[in-house]
Structures are given as structure tokens and as C-alpha cells.
Structure 1
Amino acid sequence: MVNIAGREAYSYPLLIGQLLASVKQYRTTEIVSAGRRFSYVALRERIHRLASLLRSLGVQAGDTVAVMDWDSHRYLECYFAIPMMGAVLQTVNVRLSRDVIGFTLRQAGAKLLLCHAEFEPVVEDLRDALPDLEHVVRLIDGDEPGTYEALLAAALPEFPFSDFDENAIATTFHTTGTTGDPKQVFFTHRQIVLHTLAASATLANQPDGQGLRRSDVYMPMTPLFHVHAWGLPYIATMLGLKQVYPGRYDPGTLLALKKQEGVTFSHGVPTLLRMVLDAASESLAPWTMLVGGSALSPDLAREAARKGIVTVCGYGMSETGPILSIGRSGPEDTIDSKCRAGFPIPLVHMRTEPDGRGELQVRAPWVTQGYAAQDASDALWEDGWLHTQDIAEIDPDGGVRIVDRIKDVIKTGGEWVSSIEIEALLMSHPAVSEAAVIAIPSKKWGERPKAFVVGSPGTAAPPPQELRAFLAQFATGGHISPYAVPDEIVFRDSLPRTSVGKIDKRLLRQNAESEPNAVLSTRIATQGDIHGP
């Protein structure tokens, strides 16, 4: 309390529990998951029961509670109950290897684990190496004795939640995609609440069909273990949307739920959008999809539009909570501008160093203050700006274009080449559904681009020479540099993925370095020097 002229004013802390302030008014809105349907009033009671259950198992403020589950109502309840009682929610990436999962649980010091039955063998193998872990609660879709639903039903329906410091840590998880062990990041209550407010305000002010309204039906297609599912479950709950949780992602299940439940808003990486489009046999309208994680190619955006999906690009990182920018477009905008990374949302500052085109650096009140390792934190926050490791351009209208990752940009013959740009052009060919471009060492040119492509379903793979000639026409027209045409184009049945569905270029580079001179896949050699004399 704050004393003002003899009166005590309430000093309102920005805690995750405050996002539930209005849920009692959403009496007819549903949460749909694992064959269950219940109201927001029931959601509130279940959150209280979960906190009561965890307290009965010894969880106190400051303890870490880890979750290993697919997208479910259980996960949504953990998003609130665990941090609301002052504990720390650890969202475990279940797609990591057993040993890496063990590393993340040990580093976070998880005291209790809520674990889906599917992952029990992993946890059993790790149990002796997890000295802090005292309890494991089994998660299944049914009501068997001793499992989540049965324990919840027996727990007290009211928990005495109280206020505490809004700067207390609410969540933690590990970001992957770099060499070495994953890095542990932290987010406070204040950061998550501010992110929720800024992102929801942006989505509410989007052009028709490009945002999120209370009448929408929300279904995540980004795992809830990945950066708070981009913060959308907090937004959807605060706004009282009908929410549909699909469990493990399967295109057929996602499409069935979309039709049965009237889903109108989702979010995910381009890979998952690609899978949904390939599985769809009819129009999917209305459906707005926020796309991030990696660049959305104009060709994929056009195909989505043909099937009734409005794509809206967004940008962020694990370290930024994650949303920093969201796109919006009008009828006058080109497909290229629609595929930009969007415009900074409220309270976000962006700059490039050097000015014009360079590394994107950001400030926002919800970006993580650092990693568990101090040396990595110092590099992340050099000069008081968070360094994204992305090369970007900021257009005159404020729109952000991500040119490439610093580690993925290719320098050949003294000229910079964007792998993202070449990938987009390759995917504009009707016989290509996916593409990845990496740099390979060259004694003459320093680096050269090498492309890996996946053919479109039901389409015969063209000769690699045809794809190279297809790219060469863009060089002739001045759209790209002649340096950018890859010397090698490799066809594959699929491309390796990271644990969050992005193309794993690090693995592609490793394989390219170890690949013998004998050709593993169809490829072409350089026909002379494309760089000129």
C-alpha cells in the first residue's frame, strides 16, 4: 500500500493473476481440449485447485515446477497457477534429446514435474540424475486414480493467492539453435503482463481479418513449451476467447478441429502452415494465421490466400518474450511488403547497426534481462541494446525486413548474399515446396551458396540445371546478384528441423562439411565462373 495524505492507495502489481480479473463475465465461453469442454468460471476454479494440489506436494514460492506436455488445457492451467502462487513455471521442450532435457531440468532446479505419460520413459531414465526433483505428477487425458484430473478433483477449490513483487521470475525455459548447451532465459510477471497488453492492443487495432477479436476462436499451432506459445494463451484468456487445444500437432487433427470448433485465429512457423495447406482439400476461410519463427515466402503466402488463410507476419525471439513486431497491410501493398517482419508493437524500439542495413538491435520492457550464464548475457546486451543476431533493414514507413541471420548470410567474392532471398525465389518455382540455402567454403570466393530443396507434392522434380537457370533469370533482370546463384542444388525428400520446427541450417552445414565428394543427391557443378573475370 502507498500512503497518500493519510489514505492508503493500492499499489497494483503487474502479476499474471491480474489477467484473470475479468474471467467471471465469460460464463458461456469454452475451453476445448482432450475431449473436455468447460467454461472460464470452471477454468478459474481449476487454476485454484491446481495451486492447492501443488502446495499439498510441498511447492513454495520460488520453487520451479516443470511441465512436459503437448498443447492442452492442463498446460493453460499451469501457465497461471504456477506463477500465481509465486513459483516458477519451467516449460520443457519435449522435442529435445533425453540428455538435453535432463540438462534443462537440472539447470532450472525443477522440484516438481507434471509429465505426460508419453514422456515417462525419458523421465525414468533421467530420475537418478535429477537431485532436486521430488515429485512427478502423471498427465493423461482420462481420470485414472493418481493422475492429474483425479488429483485436481480432490484438491481444494480455493487457493489463497496473494500479491508479491511484480519483478519476481514467473517463467523459465531454454532457447536452442546454437552450439553448445541450450541457454536458460527468464521472464518476470511484469514482463509477461506488459507483453500481453502491448500485443493484444496491436492485434485489436489490425485491419479487418488481420487481427484478433473477442468473437474469434483461438487454436495455437506453436507449442506451449515455446516462448509462452508466443504469448497468445495469455492474450486469449485475458480477452475471453473460445480456446481450442489440439494436443500433439497433426495436420488432420488441426483441420478437423478448425472445422468442428470454428477456429478463426492461429499462429505457427511456415513449416506447419505448409503441412496444413498440403493436407487441406477445401477452403479454410475464415482463418487468420500469425506466422513467425522464420521468413514467410511470398509463394507460401499466396498459396495460403488461395485456400482462405490470411497470413500476418510477426517477428521476435525466445529472448524477447517473443513478439516485437506484427505486420499489417492494405490492398495497395505488394506481396513482398506483406511478407516483411511487420511494424514494432507499442513500447518496442528498434535500430540497425550500422544504420540502414545491419544487425537489428531492440529495447522493450519485456525482453529477457539475460541468460543464466553471465558472459552470454553481456554479449546479448552489449551497449544497452539487445543484439538479435539478425541482419535487417528498416523501411521509410517503419516496416522491418529481416535480411538474414548473421550466421547464415553468405559472403562470396566480397559481396553479401541473403540466403532468405534465394530461398524465397526457389520456392516461387512451382516444383519446389521448401528450400534452404547455406554457405560452403570456397578457396577462390571465400564462400559459395548451396541450396537444398524439397519438391512439391505430386510434381516431378525438375533437373537441377533448370532451377539454376530459373534463378539466373532473376540475376539477369537485376533482382539478385549473379553471385547469388548457387553452384549446387541438392534435392531431398525432407529438410532437417530444429525442435521448434525451423529448418536446421546448422545440421545442413555440418552434413555438407562431412559429405564426401561422391554425390549423395542430385546436384550440379558450376558451369564456369559466374562471378565474371
Structure 2
Amino acid sequence: MENYPLTLRALFDRSQSLFGKKEVVSRTNSGISRYTYADFGRRTRQLSSALQGLGVKPGDRIATFAWNHHWHLEAYFAIPCMGAVLHTVNIRLPLEHIVYILNHAQDRFLFVDETLLPVIEKIQDQLTTIEGYIIMTDRQELPPTSLQPVYGYENILNDGDPQYMFSDDIHESAPAGLCYTSATTGKPKGVVYSHRGIYLHSLSIGLADTLGLSERDTVMPIVPMFHVNAWGLPFASVWFGSKQVLPGPAPTPGILLGLMADEQVTIAAGVPTVWTAALKAQEAKQADLSTLRAVVCGGSAAPRSLIESYEQRLGIPFYHAYGMTETCPLVTVARLKSYQDAASYDEQYTTRATQGLLVPGLEMKIVGPRGEVAWDGHEMGEILLRGPWVATAYYQDERTQESFHDGWFHSGDIAVIDQEGFVKLVDRAKDLVKSGGEWISSLDLENTLMAHPNVFEACVIGVPHPKWGERPLAFVVLKDFALQAGDKADLLHFLTPKFAKWWIPDDVIFLQEIPRSSVGKFMKRELREQYQTYFTGD
């Protein structure tokens, strides 16, 4: 058969030939923007042409520092389809990490949202390779800025050729995207995505047993476009002709609910904190979410109570998924097998709260100290992965050897797998609590605590203990903070019948909020550093 190149141009071309009338809705600082895929195609070609006019060549890294909107979507295709590399930069990272990422990638140009200019202005003197800044704004006159040289997005677009022809010479193994991990220790690590990897990953998103994305869907990626390509949804949506709703700068839960109702969104994707906040806002707003066929949740494990709330209280199917920056990111999706529909309520939701089944196209094994673990739902091991959209190295980083060897990506995630093949994360290897020589899953304790009716969020860490080596310490944010005085004993009593006695945390500390990383994950390292002498008294 023909050795057909699997590149992003094929995704783009299909949207232009078949779905020119479909709509992209984008929330910006000045309101709601609407245009068709035909408009998107013309503007994307103009952007590629304009970048070529600025001297951008195949292989150059071009960075974006932006929210989810139509300008970002155009850059998603304009940059890689001309042979350059789209480098999406996490806007929530510490300044020192942003500097490191931009310099390490040797980006030539940086697209910046108008509202995010102050962040880049603070670090511009430390950026060693940036030749120019392109401001994403619909204003003709550029906002005041100390950045130099600067270009207005719409201004350079007007200079571009709407008939610009993408190259036929891009190889499917060529880099299309670059994304850096949100490091909790050390410097962020870069992951390169090839055209072929994104192509096949996008295809997997359309499978019926994964997300089942199709032309009939209206897709809203709440997960940021700067984070693992918004889980691949913008690429797949363009290819399949799905209407897209891009929620723009700093959307609140109320704004998200309003967009879902007004635009009749059918599938939306975000991290557990987004869905927890949206659930709370929906209680007051009562938005019409009747068109939603699924909310997709990933980034960190969702508690069973959250899944049940969406499905039983709101009547919205909840898709629990798992992946990482290194995997583009989709790895597993928790969808019941046909014969599991006859299982009991408890059995179904126990399964639905796992990370799910491996998606077609990838290989996985879970390896413990004695080799691959038994499929019994109890024996723990590290998840190892390989496949066409799994990275094989970090970008120009000597730490590659720590995670990639023997042809497998070693994820650092500890999991069990049941006899049906459903994977359940137990913890990150570094977050397991080792008490008296036995492992305790902080994740299991957190998810159970969050099932308590007065718990909004819960986080569990291991801290040094003079007798047991480590003991679990729980941190809880209550829905009604005034009740905290009487809730400690109640919470521990709530856990007692569900776990062995030695699993129960030695104490519960009530917080107004739990510290989070730039992508919404609990900053357990920060808590461990702050409370490392809690049980030792030092």
C-alpha cells in the first residue's frame, strides 16, 4: 500500500473540503467571536504566509503564551503545517520556569495574549532567542508595551496570502509540537510531538469506546490549549468537523456553564477541580445542560463522588480518562464493557472511578518488584507505556535515561489492574506513604474523604514518623468551614470502616485552600516540606 504521510495538513485539508460551514465560537476580551471553518482556513494560511515573511523556516520553534481562543487555534495549524514547531507555553508556571522553557526551546517568535503581556514584560531581558512578539488582540492599535519588536496579530494577518500553499515535503516523523511538563521538582522537561503521533492520537479520540468525537459534536476544551494540546481536542475537532467553543481568558465556572448552555455543547473536557467548581456553580445557576452527552475528566484522579454527582444529580455521563504530557496525552478511558451494564450500582461506579481501559494503539504493562503484576486489582506496580503517540525521549535533556529505557516510557505512576483490564491509579511513586514497611495509597484516602458530604477537597501526604517511618496526614477543605471544630473526629470515623486501621491518617488539618500546581494538581511537595516535622516534634 502507499506510504501516505500522516501529517497535520491532512487534518486541515479535510476541514476545508468538507466542513467549511461549521462554526468556531471564541470568547475574547471584547466579546464573542464567530466564524466558519472556511474563515479559519483562510486566516490560518494567511498566518503561515505572514510567519514566512518574518523569516520563519521549517524546524523553527514558535511559542504561544495564550488562552483558548480562535487565534490560538489558527496557530495550532499555521505553525506546524508550514514545517515549524508549535511550542505551547504554560501561562501559570513560575517565571523562572517560563524563562527556562523559552530559552531551552530556542523559540524565535512568541505569540502573547494582550492580557498576558505583563508576565512576559517582566522576563523579556532574560529571553535569549526571541526575535519578536506577536500580540494576540483584535485591536488595530497595539496596547502599550515594553516588548520589542512587537507585531499585531491582525496586522500581520492582513499582510499574509490567503492562498498560501503548505509544503508537501513535511515528513510524518517531523516535529509538529513541543510541550514542557509542569515540573514539581527540577526544571520542566520538553516533549516533542510528531505529525504522525498527533494524527494517530486524533484518530483515537474519535473511536466509539474512547471519546467518540464526531462531526455532530460541539466541543468545548476547558483544559488549556497550552497544556498537552488541550488533550488533542482542537486537532481532532478540526479533522472531524466538530463545532468548537473556545472559552477564552480566565473563564469562571459561571461563564463556562453559560457557554455550554448557549452554544449547546455536547462534550467538554477539564480537570477535576474544574468539574468540582462547575458542579457547585450549577447548583445556583441551573443552566440548561441538556445537550451535554459527556464531560471528560483527566489530569488527576476524579473521586467517585464527583462522577456520581454528575451522572445521578445532573444526568450527564462522566468520562474518566488518564494520560500524561509524554503520551500526547490519551492512555486510558473508563467506559464499561457491554456485559458490565448488568452489574450492580456499586460495582459499576467502582469500575467507572478507575482510570479505565487502555485505548487501541498503545501497549502497556504494569511492573512491580517481581515483574509484571497479577491482574487481581491488588498487586501494585509502575505503568510502562509505548506506542505511536508516546514519547521516546525528552527534548535535549539528559534526564531522558531516568524515564525511557528498554523501549518503554516509565511513567512513575503506581497502579493496579483488575481481571477485566481496568487500570486504577494508586499514587505517584513519590506520593505513596510507606508506614511500617507497608504501602498506603494517598489517592484512595483522598477520594474517600471527598465522598464525605461536608468535604470540598482533600489531600493526603506522608510525613516522617519516629516509630513507623512515615504516617499519613490529611488536609481538608470543608464546604462549610465553620463546622471544622467538630469535623475531625467525624472524618476519621467516616474512614474507619473503609480501610485497615493502620491506613487511617494520624491527624486532619483544615485549610482554606490546598496549594496547587499550574495545571491544578495538589502541590504535595510544598505540604511535605511545611509539615515534615509534624510528628517528630523537631
Aligned to 2:454: 431
One-letter identity of the residue aligned with 1:351: K
Aligned to 2:239: 238
SS at match of 2:413: strand
Tell me the alpha carbon deviations over residues 215-273 of structure 1, each in whole angstroms, 9 at most, x when there is no partner: 12110110000011111111111110110001123111101111110111011110110
Deviation at 1:445, TM superposition (A): 0.3
Does residue 1:223 correspond to 2:229, yes or no? no
Deviation at 1:173, TM superposition (A): 1.8
Aligned to 1:265: 267
Deviation at 1:143, TM superposition (A): 4.1
How many equivalent pairs are there?
501
One of 302, 312, 317 as aligned partner of 2:319: 312
Do the aligned residues in 2 keep the contact of 1:435 with 1:453 (CA within 8 Å)?
yes
Deviation at 1:89, TM superposition (A): 0.8
Do the aligned residues in 1 keep the contact of 2:463 with 2:535 (CA within 8 Å)?
no
CA distance in 1 between counterparts of 2:362 and 2:455 reads 36
One of 186, 191, 201 as aligned partner of 1:180: 186
Deviation at 1:515, TM superposition (A): 6.7
SS at match of 2:399: helix
One of 18, 21, 40 as aligned partner of 2:13: 21
One-letter identity of the residue aligned with 1:485: I
One-letter identity of the residue aligned with 2:155: A
CA distance in 2 between counterparts of 1:304 and 1:459 reads 27
Does residue 1:169 correspond to 2:175, yes or no? yes
One-letter identity of the residue aligned with 1:339: A
Does residue 1:376 correspond to 2:377, yes or no? no
1:137-148 aligned within 5 A: 137-144=134-141, 147-148=152-153
CA distance in 2 between counterparts of 1:493 and 1:220 reads 28
SS at match of 1:361: strand
Aligned to 1:485: 504
Tell me the alpha carbon deviations over residues 280-308 of structure 1, each in whole angstroms, 9 at most, x when there is no partner: 13263342111111111111111122123
Do the aligned residues in 1 keep the contact of 2:355 with 2:424 (CA within 8 Å)?
yes
Aligned to 2:123: 126
One-letter identity of the residue aligned with 2:422: G
Deviation at 1:10, TM superposition (A): 6.3
CA distance in 2 between counterparts of 1:143 and 1:297 reads 47
Deviation at 1:63, TM superposition (A): 0.9
SS at match of 2:335: coil
One-letter identity of the residue aligned with 2:230: A
CA distance in 2 between counterparts of 1:262 and 1:195 reads 26
Structure 1: gaps spanning 5 or more residues: 1-8, 475-479, 519-533
One of 149, 153, 157 as aligned partner of 2:158: 153
Aligned to 1:116: 113
CA distance in 2 between counterparts of 1:254 and 1:178 reads 28
Tell me the alpha carbon deviations over residues 335-367 of structure 1, each in whole angstroms, 9 at most, x when there is no partner: 110111111111111111122321111111111
Aligned to 2:254: 252
SS at match of 2:389: coil
CA distance in 2 between counterparts of 1:45 and 1:173 reads 26
CA distance in 2 between counterparts of 1:211 and 1:168 reads 28
CA distance in 2 between counterparts of 1:443 and 1:95 reads 38
CA distance in 2 between counterparts of 1:193 and 1:482 reads 49
Do the aligned residues in 2 keep the contact of 1:57 with 1:135 (CA within 8 Å)?
no
Deviation at 1:200, TM superposition (A): 1.9
1:450-489 aligned within 5 A: 450-457=473-480, 460-461=483-484, 462-474=486-498, 480-489=499-508
Superposition RMSD in Å: 2.0
Do the aligned residues in 2 keep the contact of 1:175 with 1:318 (CA within 8 Å)?
yes
TM-score of the superposed pair, with normalisation by structure 1: 0.90
Does residue 1:342 correspond to 2:356, yes or no? yes
Counterparts in 2 of 1:11 and 1:349: CA distance versus 1, 3 Å: closer
Counterparts in 2 of 1:256 and 1:459: CA distance versus 1, 3 Å: farther
Tell me the alpha carbon deviations over residues 92-126 of structure 1, each in whole angstroms, 9 at most, x when there is no partner: 11101222111110000010111112222222232
CA distance in 1 between counterparts of 2:480 and 2:55 reads 53
Deviation at 1:141, TM superposition (A): 4.0
One of 49, 55, 58 as aligned partner of 2:52: 55
Aligned to 2:328: 321
SS at match of 1:235: helix
Do the aligned residues in 2 keep the contact of 1:286 with 1:308 (CA within 8 Å)?
no
Tell me the alpha carbon deviations over residues 113-156 of structure 1, each in whole angstroms, 9 at most, x when there is no partner: 11112222222232222221111011124444652123213321
SS at match of 2:71: helix
Deviation at 1:169, TM superposition (A): 1.1
One-letter identity of the residue aligned with 2:350: D
One-letter identity of the residue aligned with 2:174: A
Do the aligned residues in 2 keep the contact of 1:314 with 1:327 (CA within 8 Å)?
yes
Structure 2: gaps spanning 5 or more residues: 143-150, 375-379
TM-score of the superposed pair, with normalisation by structure 2: 0.89
1:282-301 aligned within 5 A: 282=286, 284-287=289-292, 288-301=294-307
Aligned to 2:206: 200
Do the aligned residues in 1 keep the contact of 2:464 with 2:536 (CA within 8 Å)?
no
CA distance in 1 between counterparts of 2:303 and 2:516 reads 17
Counterparts in 2 of 1:67 and 1:374: CA distance versus 1, 3 Å: closer
Aligned to 2:377: none
One-letter identity of the residue aligned with 1:147: G
One-letter identity of the residue aligned with 2:335: R
Aligned to 1:504: 523
CA distance in 1 between counterparts of 2:366 and 2:76 reads 34
Matched-pair identity in % = 39
CA distance in 1 between counterparts of 2:171 and 2:408 reads 25
One-letter identity of the residue aligned with 1:31: V
Aligned to 2:367: 353
Deviation at 1:459, TM superposition (A): 7.4
CA distance in 1 between counterparts of 2:482 and 2:423 reads 34
Deviation at 1:21, TM superposition (A): 2.8
One-letter identity of the residue aligned with 1:251: P
One-letter identity of the residue aligned with 2:188: P
Deviation at 1:517, TM superposition (A): 8.8
